[in-house]
Amino acid sequence: MFTRISDIDRLFETMNLLQKRLDNLYGDYEKSSGYRWGFEQNTPRTNLYENGDNFEIRAEVPGLEKDDLNVKIQGNYLEISGQRKSDTPESYKTHKTERSSGSFSRSFTLSEDVDSTRVDATLKDGVLYLTLPKNEAVKPKKISIS
């Protein structure tokens, strides 16, 4: 048991020191591996919305052209992939790189099937906008009674 306030203070100081060391260790791991908060740095941040008859997706892909991106849909499975090229000029020496290069892929399993023939994809200001209409077969239909 603790008998003095100073013992409690020492305990909290030790806990703070441990927390700082763990933060530094994790921060070094993030920098060396390209891994950050559960996602690879190269992976686009994505928002997924549902609006009645459609799913809507917005993915941040700054610096990419439409030829750098691939979007595949099969049933309720969506995959966004692409290639981010290095923008380091030839014969330059790199001192710091925060914008990663290389290939990436994000996939989603939607709650309902999508009509792949009516998907709309637009790339504007570094954001990929996808409108994914739900498949007619899975939409509820009202049956009139005679």
| Cβ atoms of 49 and 127 closer than 8 Å | no
| Cβ atoms of 19 and 11 closer than 8 Å | no
Domain ranges in the chain?
Answer: 1-40, 42-86+102-138
Listed as ranges, residues in the chain with pLDDT below 70 are: 1-3, 26-41, 138-140
The answer for residues whose C-beta is within 8 angstroms of residue 138's C-beta and 6 or more apart is 112, 113
Strands 102-109 and 46-51, sheet pairing? unpaired
For the whole model, what pTM was predicted?
A: 0.65
Whole-angstrom Cα Rg for the chain: 24
| Cβ atoms of 83 and 100 closer than 8 Å | no
Q: Could you give the CA distance from residue 129 to residue 57 in angstroms, rounded to a whole number?
A: 6
What is the model's pLDDT at position 10? Answer: 82
With tokens 């203070």, the residue in question is: 9
What is the model's pLDDT at position 13? Answer: 83
Per-residue pLDDT reduced to its tens digit, 91-128: 888 877 777 788 888 998 998 899 989 999 999 999 99
Domain 42-86+102-138 fold is Immunoglobulin-like (2.60.40)
